Each structure stands twice: as C-alpha cells, then as structure tokens.
Homo-oligomer: A and B are copies of this chain.
C-alpha cells in the first residue's frame, strides 16, 4: 500500500506544482504584468490548468484511490488525503471536458456582458448571459447525484459537506436578530467618521500597516505584500504566501483593515502541516473557514478597543494633523460606524450579513426556478428595502454589483457570512482558553493567539470538513449565537444602546 500511496502522492505533487505555478502567474498578472502581456498570460494559465486537469483526472488516479480506500485508519492523515482527493476526483471526473470548455466560453462572454451592463447600469444587457449561466448551472447540478436540495451541489463546492437547509436555518436565526439590532442602531445619533476621509498618503499608510502585521506575526522571510487593484491572498507553497493591498489616499480604512484581513488568510495558508505540502490537504477546510481567519484579524482583533489602546498613539503619530486631536474612543467608534449601504464590499460588520442573506435567497430562488431572471432587479430592491431600509437608485449599485454570477460562482456568497459566524464562535473559545487575551492585545502581543489558531485550525489544512472542524474545536457545529452576542455587545457600547 505504501507504494501505491507514494505513486498517488507523486501524481498529486505534479498537479499541485502546476496549480501553484498557475497561482504565481495569476499573482504576477494582478501585480506587475505589463498590460500587453495579457493575451499570452491567458494562454499560459489555460495550458497549466488544462494539463493539471488531465493529470488529475487520469484513470490511474481513480484506480489508486479505489485501491487505497480502506488502507488507512480513519483518523490518519493518509485516510484524510485519500478522502479529500476522492472527493475532488469525483467532482472533476463527473463533469465532462466538453462542458468545462463550454462553460469557459459562456462565462468569458458573460463577464464581458456583466462589465458592460454594470457600466451602463442596465440589467437587460446581462440577463441573456445570466440565462446561459443558469442553464449551465442546472446542467452542472445534473452531473451529480440528487441531493436534498439542488443548491446543495453548488454549496458543496465551497463548503464541503454543508447543506442548504443548515445554512438556511443559521441565517433564519441571524436575520431576525440582526435586523432588530440595526433598527436599534438607526434610532441613535450617528457617529462622526469624517476624519477618516482625509488625505492619507500611501507610503505612511503602508508603513503603519506593515508595523501592525509584523506585530501580528507576518514573517517577511515567508510572506510578501504587494499592490493590486483588487486585494487578495495567494499561496505558492506553505512557505511562500503573499498578500496584496489597494491603497485609497482619501480614506484610511480600506488598506488598513484590508491588510489585516489578507494577513488572516495568509496565516492560514502558511500554517498547514508541512507534511501536507504538495497534496490537496494543503488547503483551507473551506472558503467559510478561510474567511473566519481573515475576519478575525480584521474585525475581532483589528476593530477592537484593546487593539487600538495599543496602536492608536502610533497611528496618531503617523497622521498628527488628522488624528492628533481625535480621542481614542471617537476613533474606535468611527472605525465601527454602522450605516446601511448599497454595496456589499463596503458594508460594516453589522450590515454585512444582510447583503449575504439577500443573495443566498435570490440564488436559491434562481436554482429552484421560482423567480424569472427579468424580475431580479425588482426582487433585489425589495429585499434591500426589507433588510437594510434602502433601495439602490440603479442596477449598477444593486443587482449588478457583484462579479460572481458572471463566472458562474453561485453558492459562493454564503461563505462570507459563515466566515463571520465561525470567527466569533472561535473567538469565544479562544477567550475561554487564553483568559488574558484582551490584555495581551492591549500590550501588542499576538503570539498566543496566532499559536492557538495554528495548533487548532491552520495545521489541519483540509483534513476536516468545516462543520467537523468547528465541532471538534468549539464543541458545537456552526452556530450564529456567538456572532450575535459579539455584535450586540460591541454595538451596544459603540452606539450606547
């Protein structure tokens, strides 16, 4: 069996290398590539993806997986490797190559259509593309065994093992209480955050961000930070993980919290068990668990009072004319300002999940066929009114704002909200175990926190499914209660509820 496992591993290592090489090309494309390089880069990434797919879906892989199925103890890493690989193999081989090619073509056109539609703020331009994407989505679902709900198949691509009914149950509990919290906040006097919207020079923003993430434990011999128009984190191996940042010189928040956010992702990708390198276990458990790591550093740490008790004097020293006279508490309230807004990616902690719920409900309706595509703008606006009390003035700021549907990424959105919930659930557990965590953060010390995350989350990579991992670490499955407690405590303080 050892020989067969090694044979499997050597195929997986090549596939992994090809995928990581593709990631390097993608990183360069977003950071440094001169404009004229785009066409060749697309071809190169296409070739790497094609060869990786061919090698991974080779019959030999299926055969080895079958032979190794019962060879190892269910708790072992070997078992997990075989299970996770089988899962991916099954997905990759069920979908015919011709379908993948058709999908690539349709979504390339749909992306163009979406860009134009958003630019002209006209959903009608995107609608025929979306119809094709939905047709593909339904055919995609058809390649898999019938699930409890057809949306399960989509969700499973991002949150292994997660069911639509589970997400709906979680969101149902969340919705009611989060809407009530927002109503309470709306009755209070709004906080002033005008001093965050001043000229903040990029170089100083960058220097401050570097200090913060260095204190977090960002290791510059294994990590990098570069600039990109859309911030992201990418990994070329457990020991080479990179983040990117977009600087806005007219607003302090985006780069500051974006840098902490991507650093949370980077810690995860850089914390897998080194023995998982070049295997499918060298991945996060799911997008939701990944997002829990980024949200924790961005929000639970980075938007907390203890954090700023430590760092605020340094920030003031960096920007004395804007912040010199702003008191810590006013700064803290400003960075935690709650304001229902139209655009998901700009939403604050208290409203963010509402954007997600709206999308989840619409996607499920699209998959069930209970909404006509032409009615989407209206449905969107109705739900915005219901959940956030505001209505987009046009499609560009409404139903057309996200790129996801144009690439067929249905099932993706809920991972963002799940990440928020998991982050708070872990946070309660961490605080129970590291009882002086607030004091540590107030002292600018993050090693115990990072150590806990490494030992309890990061090291496991993709060994456990998200529900399994959360259960193992916190004693219960994903549960919205800790996040609701967190929101209520925090915003009661910020808004004096």
Contacts and interface: CB of A to CB of B under 8 A. Distances in A.
A335 to B, nearest CB: 30
Contacts of A277: 40
Contacts of A33: 240
Contacts of A240: 33-34, 36-37, 40-41
Contact of A51 (B14, B226, B238): B14
Contact of A37 (B35, B37, B51, B237): B237
Given A14-B47, A47-B17, A48-B21, A32 B226 contact: yes
Contacts of A46: 17
A220 interface: yes
Interface SS majority for chain A: helix
A49 to B, nearest CB: 11
Nearest to A29: B24
Contacts of A36: 219, 221-222, 239-240
A39 B237 CA distance: 9
A311 interface: no
Contacts of A18: 47-48, 51
Given A14-B51, A34-B221, A34-B222, A44 B21 contact: yes
Interface in A35-78: 35-37, 39-41, 43-44, 46-48, 50-51
A173 interface: no
Interface size class, chain A: 35 or more
Contacts of A132: none
Given A25-B21, A220-B34, A223-B34, A13 B43 contact: yes
Interface in A221-244: 221-224, 226, 236-240
A57 to B, nearest CB: 16
Given A14-B47, A48-B17, A51-B51, A37 B226 contact: no
A20 B34 contact: no
Interface of A: 13-14, 17-18, 20-22, 24-25, 28, 32-37, 39-41, 43-44, 46-48, 50-51, 219-224, 226, 236-240, 277-278
17 contacts: A14-B47, A17-B44, A21-B22, A21-B47, A24-B24, A24-B28, A28-B28, A32-B224, A34-B222, A34-B223, A35-B222, A36-B219, A39-B237, A40-B236, A40-B277, A40-B278, A44-B236
